[in-house]
Amino acid sequence: MRSFFATLRQLVLPAGAPPGTPRIVLGPDVPATLAAFSPDFVFSSAIVFYYNATDYYFESVAIWVPIGTQVVIKGTYDTTNGVIIYEFIRLGFNELAFGSATYNTVTPFLAIRKMTLSIENTSPFTIDGVSAPRGVLDYVAGTVNSGALGAEAVYLTGNSRTFIDGHAYRISVRTNVTTAIGNAANAQVIRVRVGNIAGTVERTWVQRCIVGGSEAVAFSFVAARSAGSNLTTQLVVTGQGITNTWVADVAGNSPYEMQIEDVGAAVNYPNCNVLV
């Protein structure tokens, strides 16, 4: 009778499958190899899929003793590697980890390995309540000298990108400015425009080469999209010469370039430029 009630604790599929054969076991009596895995876990129940007499895949509910909360653990056991945890969910705290090959009490949290975390650009993403940067949105560089820039002309064109409403972007420009003639009236004007030569000016930089030669120009600024809708466009960099022409050159294997980075929520950058 005692053995009869003991069998009711477990459901074995297929019914009657003997130990040592591939089978599924559901119940509170977890395998001894899993129960002895770590003193940090008290396993209360498990679904066990046996490959053979000893090796299995398991999904189990346990108490994580150091924290005192329930966790769901998925992993495998084999006689060579022991218990390996592949997924760890801390219930009630929205914590999830993947891909740990080891566990110990010195470093109780599981390593995240070989996992790509993808967050849609329109999804809120914060760290300690602050909107987090999303990284580089666009980068372009010129590797040959521009033509002579007198009347304003585009010398660097970005790629078409979608600027998300409510996001801010850091736009950085670097150019080697070369002019044959330098004087107080000579100026080299660099503009960042939206779309094309006729687009909205986002930033203007004026450089004055008092003597002829080459000078490095670098500047950056933040611009935000806050119009109630996304904007898909490209940014362009233009050059204009006042009194004399100039060239955006690549002297010393140094390209002229523009980089656009998503730096988080627009509200973090009050009074910055507006992308229109």
pLDDT digits (tens, 9 = 90+) for 54-104: 899 999 888 888 777 788 888 889 988 888 887 777 655 555 554 444 554
Pick the CATH number of 130-274 from 2.40.30.20, 1.10.3720.10, 2.60.120.760, 2.30.30.60: 2.60.120.760
pLDDT confidence of residue 272 = 95
- 228 neighbors 249 (Cβ within 8 angstroms): no
pLDDT confidence of residue 88 = 73
Q: What is the length of the chain?
A: 276
DSSP conformation class of 116:
-
Strand 235-242 to 201-207 pairing: unpaired
Instruction: Show me where the domains of the chain are located.
Output: 2-98, 130-274
Q: What is the mean pLDDT of the chain?
A: 82
The Cα 261–Cα 170 span in angstroms is 5
Query: Is the pLDDT score of 49 beyond 50?
Result: yes
Query: Is the pLDDT score of 209 beyond 50?
Result: yes
pLDDT confidence of residue 112 = 47
